[in-house]
């Protein structure tokens, strides 16, 4: 024990402990006890969460439809290994996010505001609001596609999808603390694995799969605009701005510290591995339609097309997977929006706060979800176009977010000895270059086609 004189000399807290502090300290106490008693599996269980959620949350409805559409259009030759590459990119980016959160205990939006000024802080938040709103609409489109498969009609699918999405977001917000919210969403995210039995039941050509992974076939032929769209969409299906905002804020809300960085890497790597497997499964399921000239489904028609070609069980699993993918993304993307706005205006932004103490955080979480739900109920709204281009928009706007992330991860005043290594900076620079090139190539080619130059 400390002698009384030394104890009296200890600094007093600068402010009283809040409800948020107390709830987070309870969670951290369990982590401390698990580490103290050498309970490795319990420690991993307590620290897993943000990394798995951000990766499986990015295996959202538009992403799984994009993978399936790619498989139906081009088979597995080029895009199967390319998905693995993009998830390796996602891990490198999100590891930086987790490390910055564990060292600084602050969200991405708050750090950008503090280190680069209000202008860039609000630019980052505005970028996020635009991409998140479009993506949330696309998530409801995916949920609606899955619901329509079971109802046999699209007339009631929109209202049912809206009720499911808004209802689950509201229910999760009522759980009272970050730990419960995280476990609830993790339980739903596990169902992303439904795409694996869907792929297996579609009887893929395993020789072609092995050849594609080993040889990395050359870029397929076809319409240049379609290929660039799918390339940009595949990148946007694995690395997006909301992922940076969400994981950094969620890791800070969870209370990660530098001692947790090793487990944070396990969490992020495990999430990337699972998401890559499930994403490849969606591609393999969609590839069952490759070569079936009579089957050229839109997003909503994918489950039905799969049911006709390879059997109703595959269509059913794919439809259930779309509903799960859309719902989990609704929960995580709306949370990332709420985190960002709370950080930018300096308001309470934690699931460990009650709605009374964090009114803006909870209000943004629900309102942005309801806004997206309303859009899918508008007659004649271009829902399919929104769903197909949501990932492309994310790819176009991602480089700015990544550049700020790299600057934060190299800020020695913030990060101390946890700054990026030269190798990490090289890899991060290559990722920014690839993402920028993909987005710019699609934008330029689309413009040239619009003005009839190509």
Q: Is residue 5 part of a domain?
A: no
Tell me the C-alpha to C-alpha distance, in Å, between residue 314 and each of 189, 198, 286, 303: 19, 5, 10, 8
Q: Give 435-449 pLDDT, tens digit per residue.
A: 777 666 666 665 555
Q: Is residue 214 part of a domain?
A: yes
Q: Give 330-345 pLDDT, tens digit per residue.
A: 999 999 999 998 888 8
* Alpha-carbon span 411 to 429, nearest angstrom: 16
Q: Is residue 429 part of a domain?
A: yes
- With a threshold of 0.85, does the pTM exceed it? yes
CATH number, domain of 178, equals: 1.20.1740
- Lowest mean pLDDT of 90-99, 220-229, 323-332, 392-401, name the range: 220-229
* Alpha-carbon span 263 to 36, nearest angstrom: 15
Q: Give 40-49 pLDDT, tens digit per residue.
A: 999 999 999 9
- Name the pLDDT band for 234 (thresholds 50, 70, 90): low
pLDDT, position 4: 44
**Averaged over 47-72, what is the pLDDT?**
89
**152: containing domain:** 61-450
Dihedral sign computed on CA atoms, order 185, 189, 190, 191: positive
Count of CB atoms within 10 A of residue 35's CB? 17
User: Is-contact 394 139, C-beta < 8 A?
Assistant: no
Q: Is residue 133 pLDDT above 60, yes or no?
A: yes
- Name the pLDDT band for 108 (thresholds 50, 70, 90): very high
pLDDT, position 315: 92
Q: Is residue 175 part of a domain?
A: yes
Number of folded domains that form the chain: 1
List the one residue out of 284, 333, 336 whose CA is nearest residue 306.
Answer: 284
DSSP output for 277-338: HHHHHHHHHHHTTTT-TT----GGGHHHHHHHHH-HHHHHHHHHHHHHHHHHHHHHHHHHHH
**Averaged over 344-350, what is the pLDDT?**
86
Q: Is residue 7 pLDDT above 50, yes or no?
A: no
* Alpha-carbon span 335 to 332, nearest angstrom: 5
Tell me the C-alpha to C-alpha distance, in Å, between residue 166 and each of 172, 329, 443: 10, 12, 33
Q: Return the structure tokens found at 150.
A: 């079971």
Q: Is residue 15 part of a domain?
A: no
List the one residue out of 131, 150, 139 whose CA is nearest residue 373.
Answer: 139
Mean pLDDT (the chain) is 84
* Alpha-carbon span 153 to 184, nearest angstrom: 30
Q: Is residue 22 part of a domain?
A: no
Q: Give 384-421 pLDDT, tens digit per residue.
A: 677 666 767 777 778 888 899 999 999 999 999 999 99
pLDDT, position 215: 75
**Which residues neighbour 219 within 8 Å (Cβ) at sequence distance 6 or greater?**
78, 227
**Averaged over 134-155, what is the pLDDT?**
87
Q: Is residue 108 part of a domain?
A: yes
pLDDT, position 24: 87
Q: Is residue 48 part of a domain?
A: no
pLDDT, position 9: 45
List the one residue out of 210, 324, 244 whose CA is nearest residue 51.
Answer: 244
List the one residue out of 199, 279, 189, 174 whose CA is nearest residue 236.
Answer: 279
What DSSP state is assigned to residue 18? P
pLDDT, position 167: 94
Dihedral sign computed on CA atoms, order 442, 394, 280, 307: negative
Share of the chain above pLDDT 70, in %: 84
Q: Give 237-263 pLDDT, tens digit per residue.
A: 567 888 999 999 999 999 999 999 999
* Alpha-carbon span 228 to 443, nearest angstrom: 9
Q: Give 264-311 pLDDT, tens digit per residue.
A: 999 999 999 999 999 999 999 998 888 665 455 655 678 888 998 899
- Name the pLDDT band for 179 (thresholds 50, 70, 90): very high
Using left for φ > 0, alpha for ψ between -120 and 50, and beta otherwise, residue 105 falls in left
* Alpha-carbon span 320 to 169, nearest angstrom: 18
């Amino acid at each position: 024990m400390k002698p009384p004189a030394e104890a009296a000399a200890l600094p007093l807290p600068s402010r009283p402990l809040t409800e948020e502090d107390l709830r987070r300290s309870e969670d951290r106490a369990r982590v401390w006890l698990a580490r103290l008693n050498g309970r490795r599996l319990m420690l991993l269980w307590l620290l897993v969460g943000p990394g798995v959620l951000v990766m499986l949350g990015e295996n959202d409805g538009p992403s799984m439809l994009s993978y399936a559409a790619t498989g139906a259009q081009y088979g597995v030759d080029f895009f199967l290994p390319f998905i693995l590459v993009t998830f390796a990119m996602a891990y490198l980016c999100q590891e930086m996010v987790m490390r910055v959160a564990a060292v600084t205990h602050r969200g991405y939006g708050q750090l950008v505001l503090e280190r680069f000024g209000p202008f860039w802080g609000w630019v980052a938040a505005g970028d996020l609001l635009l991409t998140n709103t479009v993506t949330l609409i696309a998530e409801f489109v995916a949920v609606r596609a899955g619901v329509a498969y079971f109802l046999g009609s699209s007339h009631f699918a929109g209202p049912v999808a809206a009720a499911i999405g808004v209802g689950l977001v509201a229910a999760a917000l009522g759980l009272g603390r970050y730990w419960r919210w995280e476990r609830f969403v993790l339980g739903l995210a596990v169902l992303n694995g439904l795409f694996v039995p869907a792929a297996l039941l579609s009887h893929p050509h395993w020789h072609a799969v092995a050849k594609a992974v080993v040889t990395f076939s050359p870029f397929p032929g076809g319409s240049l605009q379609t290929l660039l769209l799918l390339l940009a969409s595949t990148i946007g299906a694995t690395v997006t701005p909301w992922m940076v905002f969400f994981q950094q804020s969620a890791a800070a809300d969870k209370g990660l510290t530098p001692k947790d960085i090793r487990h944070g890497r396990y969490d992020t790597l495990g999430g990337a591995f699972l998401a890559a497997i499930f994403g490849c499964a969606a591609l393999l399921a969609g590839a069952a339609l490759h070569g079936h000239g009579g089957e050229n489904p839109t997003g909503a028609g994918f489950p039905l097309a799969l049911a006709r070609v390879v059997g109703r069980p595959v269509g059913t699993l794919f439809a259930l997977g779309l509903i799960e993918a859309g719902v989990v993304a609704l929960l995580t993307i709306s949370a990332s929006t709420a985190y960002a706005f709370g950080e930018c205006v300096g308001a309470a932004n934690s699931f460990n706060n009650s709605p009374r103490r964090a009114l803006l955080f909870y209000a943004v979480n629900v309102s942005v979800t309801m806004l997206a739900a309303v859009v899918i109920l508008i007659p004649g709204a271009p829902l399919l176009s929104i769903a197909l281009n949501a990932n492309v928009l994310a790819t176009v706007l991602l480089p700015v977010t990544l550049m700020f992330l790299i600057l934060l991860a190299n800020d020695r005043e913030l990060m101390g000895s946890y700054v990026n290594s030269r190798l990490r900076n090289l890899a991060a620079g290559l990722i920014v270059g690839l993402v920028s090139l993909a987005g710019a190539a699609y934008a330029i080619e689309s413009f040239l086609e619009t003005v009839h130059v190509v």
